[in-house]
Amino acid sequence: MVRDGDILARWGGEEFTILLPETDLIQALILAERLRETIAKLSIVADETEINFTVSIGVAQKETEMSSIESLFNQADIFMYQAKQAGRNQVYGIYLA
């Protein structure tokens, strides 16, 4: 789902980040939703128990004037927690100027 040039990294214990250079917010939200749908379809059987997966995704866009990359990650983190609070398995994001 990610392209050459995109960067996927583990950000915390259960958190990952994907940096999408040259991608506008709409494209990032579409990718995030496709990723969410793909993960929601996953199912693993272990010890005769079916395990299903969900993901909560926060999407933020860095503009040239944004003070730091840290503020970008902080905003994405806020959106991820909003997605979790809204019932999980959702994508939240907004354009930041």
pLDDT at residue 64, as a whole number: 67
Per annotation, catalytic residue among 14, 48, 50, 70: 14
Q: Is 59 helix (H, G, I), strand (E, B) or coil?
A: strand
Q: Which residue numbers in the chain have pLDDT < 50?
A: none
Q: How many domains does the chain have?
A: 1
Give the position of tokens 């693993």. 44
- So what's the pLDDT on residue 11? 85
Per-residue confidence (pLDDT) for residue 4, from 0 to 100: 86
Show the domain range for 79.
7-94
Query: Which CATH number belongs to the domain containing residue 87 in this structure?
Result: 3.30.70.270
pTM confidence score:
0.83
Catalytic residue list contains 22? no
Indicate the length of the chain as a whole number. Answer: 97
What pLDDT, on the 0 to 100 scale, is given for residue 3?
80
50 occurs within a structural domain: yes
Q: What pLDDT, on the 0 to 100 scale, is given for residue 77?
A: 92
Would you say residue 2 lies in a domain? no
